[in-house]
Structure 1
């Protein structure tokens, strides 16, 4: 079995044997077949490398095809025509209302989802950007993965935003040309703003302490320099002698120089003073507002007319959208960080209970009485509170970098209205409340359950309502990260939908129809993280449903929808000019800012709440049982984080205690690694589990409701997509790695006598290991639920699908099965090799048993470091020294441990590296990491 064809054919054959015995595991059997070949003479690691290369190429091509399908068509000419055909021509006022406010705010976030290497990402994007067949020439040879730093993430954000800006300019030009043709006497009044961009990369302090305030200032200055340079180039392309260039070019250079000042080490007060004084000093090149530039461009456009008029107005529109940066920026802190800062300021004795009504009264008075304080860079440098430091950084950005563009302050784990008022207090304390949008994040189970009451209470506060009217919006953030992990993806989406409806109702009840509702739905590209995989239309309406949008429309509240494009996976939508234009054109056609107040009237999911609420609660309770189950936690953490490549600058730390993995809590693993581990184990539990159990018995009323509901159909499309990639047999197979009986029996018939020693040692070592039972119990629970899901599918009307979908789905399942079996064989190779290494003495409190456990939990880098220390292959020799005194000892050359390195350490290292490449390929089949 040295070809992928042979591998998948063998897997197909083995699947047939499940008819003989339901407990037969074709994935694990194939891994045994491969392992026997690998431990004999039938397969080498070089052969495995070739198999992995072919399988990962196919997965990469599938990734590119899926990306193209989501945004197709990708031809710029076709997209220009598609947008033109979608524009209405009858009413100028309606046209302006539709396009003068963003149809979508796109936020480029950077959690650790940089799965692909730069070369792989470029190959996927290039393949997806063309209409022709995607061939093997789009694959790239694997290369050494370099650590993903914050600077790399920021560079990628800037590249994605630049493509987005260019695509938006193309769309803006089409809108202006349309208006010019349809309303020649009025079109100059049209000020298009179809999309707005933002980023939190370099400003998000939730869950990390490695981003310094000076780095945030430096990033913002670098963004200003880059954007001014782009404005300059755009204007120069219109008119190389335009007088405004004499302002834009020096301003770009000035911002670049100030960015360089803040890129260095500013821990020395003298260095900080120099950089700060340069930035705060008056300088004619220090451009703080683009409004004069916008006014001049639009005045000129009105005077010149024709095509040049459109070009000038496109540039003005870009300036109005982005300001003096590549887009708006989002700072983020945790509620606890905010509470700590508040106690220092208003509650030094720690007597204030922020969940009490007394705290609301106290903060209400404090906000009303607060007198703004001035702050400089010295205050920023010496501030120890993370939350206050973020406000001080915002002060400097608004005063000395961009006075126009507002800043979002996202507050994670916000569960009390007092937390929002605390943020408002600090915004007023430092005199920036007119430029800061405080946005509570609703993501935890508690926040989603009680979020409606929080919004009701908040919107009854006069100080908050006055602030929201000043800003022109009420801003909230809903998260699909911890929500999808701890509540389950389907219940989380339904809970978020209800919360969004509660916001619309609370705003209407408190007379807030005169401000917009900005709803930021933060999710990744994975189906386990809130991104619907079937279509861009589903991706848009999954986090902000037609029902929720209809609630805002019914209340007469303008909606500002905002979504995240997260990390390396999300940036692929903007990785080339063609993809960026296709993505924004599809979004422009979908018009997510618009809602139909009658959209849900005919959907039984919302009419039959007796059924849908019971369905929601049943799925949620089933997911909660998994979350609280020690079996589930042990299975997810069985390999620690060793199944995953590092995929971002925010590193998830492994436990230093070698035995801690056995008791690791799910809360010690972040949401993205949690979801990614589920992919790697073969079953996205937080997407699929509970749907079948919730419909247990196929209640006719429930079945009828699900069959006739558009929202239910969307839920089922998500579940079917996940289920098409899932394999409970694979989950069970991972447990068999730790089956003592398997290892004891493997050489029993004399087929592998050379493995008798290590197999016996493995059997003895694993006899008390709990992981085989853990995986078996989890697989049993999943199977019971999956059978019920299958029964539900039989009770529902058949789903129409393309003729080749079934064959394509099966081919993908076989490819994933082959990858999983190959990785299991590699793991067995590692286990056998580490068991065969000679004993060595304890060093630095690390024993041989510790090293074994490191390998079994895939802490392979740590294990190999210990082994290389115990068995060095490079060490000092007498000949290295130039000494006059003769010596007879040591006698001859010591060969060291070269054979141990060659036969044991290096094969483990290589096998693990191949397993990580397999992990990338599996994630590509799932469409995203985590």
Structure 2
């Protein structure tokens, strides 16, 4: 078995044996077949490398095909035709109202989802950018991955935004041309703004301490320089001799110089003083607003020839949308950081309970009495509070970089109105409340459960209402990462939907119907950072459903939907000009800012006697997994060793690295947690509980879901996850730790050469709990899956069943080959000779490191114990002769070749399989 085709054929034949023996595990049996070949020498690691290369190729094709299916058609000409069809003539007023406000705010974030190498990402994007079948060209790329630093993430974000800007320019030009053709006497009054772009890369401080304030300022200045340079290119294409170029070119150069100043080491007060004084000094090249340029372009367009006028107005539209940056920016802090800051400022003795009514009363008073304080870069440099530092940084950006573009302040884990009022106090204190949108994040189970009451209380505060009217919007953020992990994807979506409805109700009740509602959804997990893999319509409707949108429309509230495109996964949708245009065209066709207020009610929301119980049952089932020691132990059985590093933010929260056996799920961040579920073979947080929730009422629930668009959307997500899921794979991981398996493997002399290592593994693993943990989890998942299959059998059949089976078999082969590599690592690790304990690390500690896939640490200890580089006699020039040692000492080079190097290489190969499996799922996380 040295080809993928042979492995697929073998696993298919093994699956047929489950009809005779239901407990038979085809995935683990194939891994044993491969392990026997590997340990006998009939299969080498070089052979495994070739097999993995073929599996990688198939997975990259799968990812490219999925991406193309999501955005098709991809050619610019086809998308121009598609948009033209979607533009009805109508009347000019209706047309302006639709396209002079954003249909979507797109935020380019940098969650750790940079799974593919740059070459792989480029190949996938190129393959998806043409309306042709994906071929093997997508595979002919090296897989080397650069270190994923914050600078790398920022560079990738800016590249994606640049493509998005160009695509938006094409759409804006088409909108202007359409207006010119249909309303020739009025069209110059049209100011299109179909999309806004933003980013928090370099500004997000939630969960990290590695971003200095100077980096944030430097990033913002670099973005300003890049955007001004792009404005120059656009205007130069219209008229190389245009008068405004004499101002814009020096302004771009000046911003680039200031960006270089702030990219230097500014830890020395003298160096900071030089950089700050250069930035804050008056200079004719220093632009803080584009208002005069926008007006000049619009004024010229009113008397220009048609094509030139379209070009000028397109550039003005870009300036209006982006300001002096590549887009708007989002700072983000955690509620605890804000609590620490407000206590230090107003409650140094810690006597104030921020969850109390007295805290709100106190904050009302200090907000109303706050007098703006001046600040400078020295104040920013010496500030120790993370939250206050962010407000000071925003003040400097608004004062010295871009005075027009507002800044979002996202507050994670915001569960008390006092938290947001504390943010409002600091915004008033530093004189930036008129330009900062404070946005609470609802993501935890507590926040979602009590979010309605939070909104009712917050919007009832007069100081907040005054602030919201000043800003012209109420901003909130809803996130699926932690919600999807701790509540489950489907319950999270339904809870977030209800919260959004409560926002519409609270705004209407508190007289805020005259301001906009900006609802930022950071999308989902497990089936990809797009939340829903089925279509672009589902991708947009999943986090902000038509039901929720209708609540705002019926209340007369203007809705500003905002979604994130996260890391290497989300950036693929903007990785080429063609993909960016196709993506924005699909959004423009779907118009997520609008909905039909008179649409017929969805039965899912009318039959709450059924749907609410269904939601609660799934939520309770998911919660039981979260509280289960079995589930927690299984998910953390390998630590984070199943995953490639995919971002600059650490994937694991601060903890004792030696405590893997007792690792809590809360120590792992949401994205790697859900990525581990993919790698274990079963997206528990998507599938689990749906079948059990229908138990005893299958017919009625199936009928309700089948008659409901929202219900069928839920089922499409479940089907997509279930098509790739395998309970047998979950069980197979447990067999790695089954002492009886290792004791029986060389039984009857079939592998007598492995008797000693197998016996050692059998003895060592007698005390290990993981075999039983995976067995119990698989049993629970199987019972729930049986109920799910019964429910799905009563509903309309999903599409692509034969294709799903092909992908499922490919994933099964990937899993079996990886399990064989793990067995190879285990056998080699237990075969390493004993060595003396050093640095409190014993041989058993090293074995445990290997079993939890902390391979780098294990290999470092083994290389310390068995060195191959050391002083030799010939290195010394001594007059006195010696007869000792008698021969050349090669040290432990043979031992390394036999044991240490194979572990190293096998693990590297296993991580390539991780990437292949993630590509079949369509994302990392």
Scaled by the length of structure 2, what TM-score is found?
0.99
Could you tell me which residue of structure 2 aligns to residue 799 of structure 1? 797
Within 2, Cα distance between the matches of 1:901 and 1:449? 55
Shift of 1:897: 0.6
Q: Secondary structure at the match of 1:749?
A: helix
Equivalent runs, 1:824-835 vs 2, <5 Å: 824-835=819-830
1:895 aligns with 2:890: yes
Could you tell me which residue of structure 1 aligns to residue 330 of structure 2? 330
Q: Secondary structure at the match of 2:266?
A: coil
Could you tell me which residue of structure 2 aligns to residue 343 of structure 1? 343
Could you tell me which residue of structure 2 aligns to residue 495 of structure 1? 495
Shift of 1:703: 2.6
Shift of 1:808: 1.0
Equivalent runs, 1:121-140 vs 2, <5 Å: 121-140=121-140
Equivalent runs, 1:182-581 vs 2, <5 Å: 182-524=182-524, 526-527=526-527, 531-581=531-581
Shift of 1:354: 1.1
Q: Structure 1 residues 89-98 or 209-218, which shifts more?
A: 89-98
Q: Secondary structure at the match of 2:747?
A: coil
Within 1, Cα distance between the matches of 2:130 and 2:794? 41
Could you tell me which residue of structure 2 aligns to residue 145 of structure 1? 145
Within 2, Cα distance between the matches of 1:512 and 1:473? 9
- Structure 2 contact 529–566 (Cα < 8 Å) conserved: no
Residue by residue over 1:140-188, the C-alpha shift from the partner in whole angstroms, topping out at 9 and shown as x without a partner, is: 3443332200000000011000000000000000000000111111111
- Structure 1 contact 524–570 (Cα < 8 Å) conserved: no
Q: Structure 1 residues 649-658 or 551-560, which shifts more?
A: 649-658
Could you tell me which residue of structure 2 aligns to residue 873 of structure 1? 868
Could you tell me which residue of structure 1 aligns to residue 831 of structure 2? 836
Query: What is the CA RMSD across the aligned residues, in angstroms?
Result: 1.1
Shift of 1:657: 5.1
Could you tell me which residue of structure 2 aligns to residue 607 of structure 1? 606
Q: Structure 1 residues 309-318 or 530-539, which shifts more?
A: 530-539
Shift of 1:41: 2.7
Within 2, Cα distance between the matches of 1:71 and 1:425? 44
Could you tell me which residue of structure 1 aligns to residue 623 of structure 2? 624
Could you tell me which residue of structure 1 aligns to residue 767 of structure 2? 768
Within 2, Cα distance between the matches of 1:41 and 1:381? 62
- Structure 2 contact 655–667 (Cα < 8 Å) conserved: no
Q: Secondary structure at the match of 2:302?
A: helix
Q: Secondary structure at the match of 1:27?
A: helix
Q: Secondary structure at the match of 2:833?
A: coil
Q: Secondary structure at the match of 2:659?
A: helix
Shift of 1:892: 2.4
Q: Secondary structure at the match of 1:304?
A: coil
Scaled by the length of structure 1, what TM-score is found?
0.98
Within 1, Cα distance between the matches of 2:232 and 2:880? 73
Within 1, Cα distance between the matches of 2:509 and 2:7? 63
Residue by residue over 1:744-784, the C-alpha shift from the partner in whole angstroms, topping out at 9 and shown as x without a partner, is: 00001111000000000000000010000000000000001
Q: Structure 1 residues 679-688 or 141-150, which shifts more?
A: 141-150
Q: Secondary structure at the match of 1:439?
A: strand
Could you tell me which residue of structure 1 aligns to residue 731 of structure 2? 732
Within 2, Cα distance between the matches of 1:529 and 1:206? 18
- Structure 1 contact 574–583 (Cα < 8 Å) conserved: yes
Q: Structure 1 residues 461-470 or 134-143, which shifts more?
A: 134-143
Within 1, Cα distance between the matches of 2:510 and 2:383? 38
Within 1, Cα distance between the matches of 2:529 and 2:448? 16
Q: Secondary structure at the match of 2:411?
A: strand
- Structure 2 contact 525–671 (Cα < 8 Å) conserved: no
Shift of 1:882: 3.0
- Structure 1 contact 658–850 (Cα < 8 Å) conserved: no
Shift of 1:430: 0.2
Equivalent runs, 1:62-77 vs 2, <5 Å: 62-77=62-77
Could you tell me which residue of structure 2 aligns to residue 642 of structure 1? 641
Q: Structure 1 residues 319-328 or 39-48, which shifts more?
A: 39-48
Q: Secondary structure at the match of 1:440?
A: strand
Could you tell me which residue of structure 1 aligns to residue 678 of structure 2? 679
Shift of 1:852: 0.3
Q: Secondary structure at the match of 1:533?
A: coil
Q: Secondary structure at the match of 1:121?
A: helix
Shift of 1:698: 3.2
1:845 aligns with 2:845: no
Could you tell me which residue of structure 2 aligns to residue 863 of structure 1? 858
Shift of 1:414: 0.4
Within 2, Cα distance between the matches of 1:655 and 1:856? 21
Could you tell me which residue of structure 2 aligns to residue 745 of structure 1? 744
Q: Return closer, same or farther for 1:491/1:653 CA change in 2, 3 Å cut-off.
A: closer
Within 2, Cα distance between the matches of 1:522 and 1:624? 22
Within 2, Cα distance between the matches of 1:655 and 1:208? 10
Within 1, Cα distance between the matches of 2:817 and 2:106? 39
Could you tell me which residue of structure 2 aligns to residue 107 of structure 1? 107
Within 2, Cα distance between the matches of 1:624 and 1:517? 31
Residue by residue over 1:718-747, the C-alpha shift from the partner in whole angstroms, topping out at 9 and shown as x without a partner, is: 000000000000000000000000000000
Could you tell me which residue of structure 2 aligns to residue 662 of structure 1? 661
Residue by residue over 1:283-320, the C-alpha shift from the partner in whole angstroms, topping out at 9 and shown as x without a partner, is: 00000000000000000000113100000000000000
Within 2, Cα distance between the matches of 1:192 and 1:80? 17
Shift of 1:138: 1.6
Within 2, Cα distance between the matches of 1:470 and 1:709? 40
Could you tell me which residue of structure 2 aligns to residue 701 of structure 1? 700
1:823 aligns with 2:789: no
Shift of 1:788: 0.4
Shift of 1:134: 1.2
Within 1, Cα distance between the matches of 2:651 and 2:514? 43
Residue by residue over 1:833-852, the C-alpha shift from the partner in whole angstroms, topping out at 9 and shown as x without a partner, is: 11111111111111100100
Could you tell me which residue of structure 2 aligns to residue 596 of structure 1? 596
Residue by residue over 1:558-592, the C-alpha shift from the partner in whole angstroms, topping out at 9 and shown as x without a partner, is: 00000000000100000000000000000000000
Instruction: Structure 2 unaligned segments of length 5 or more: list them.
Output: none
Within 1, Cα distance between the matches of 2:524 and 2:861? 37
Could you tell me which residue of structure 2 aligns to residue 11 of structure 1? 11
Within 2, Cα distance between the matches of 1:926 and 1:478? 24
Could you tell me which residue of structure 2 aligns to residue 43 of structure 1? 43
Within 1, Cα distance between the matches of 2:654 and 2:460? 46
Within 2, Cα distance between the matches of 1:354 and 1:655? 26
Q: Return closer, same or farther for 1:525/1:582 CA change in 2, 3 Å cut-off.
A: farther
Within 2, Cα distance between the matches of 1:141 and 1:182? 48
Could you tell me which residue of structure 2 aligns to residue 154 of structure 1? 154
Instruction: Structure 1 unaligned segments of length 5 or more: list them.
Output: none
Q: Return closer, same or farther for 1:529/1:574 CA change in 2, 3 Å cut-off.
A: closer
Within 1, Cα distance between the matches of 2:801 and 2:249? 57
- Structure 1 contact 484–529 (Cα < 8 Å) conserved: no
Q: Return closer, same or farther for 1:695/1:530 CA change in 2, 3 Å cut-off.
A: farther
Q: Secondary structure at the match of 2:725?
A: coil
Within 2, Cα distance between the matches of 1:181 and 1:696? 59
Residue by residue over 1:624-678, the C-alpha shift from the partner in whole angstroms, topping out at 9 and shown as x without a partner, is: 0000000000000000000000000012248875651111000000000000000
Within 2, Cα distance between the matches of 1:239 and 1:690? 62
Shift of 1:428: 0.3
Q: Secondary structure at the match of 1:437?
A: strand
1:916 aligns with 2:911: yes
- Structure 1 contact 524–564 (Cα < 8 Å) conserved: no
- Structure 1 contact 525–565 (Cα < 8 Å) conserved: no
Residue by residue over 1:363-418, the C-alpha shift from the partner in whole angstroms, topping out at 9 and shown as x without a partner, is: 11111111000000010000000000000000000000000000000000000011
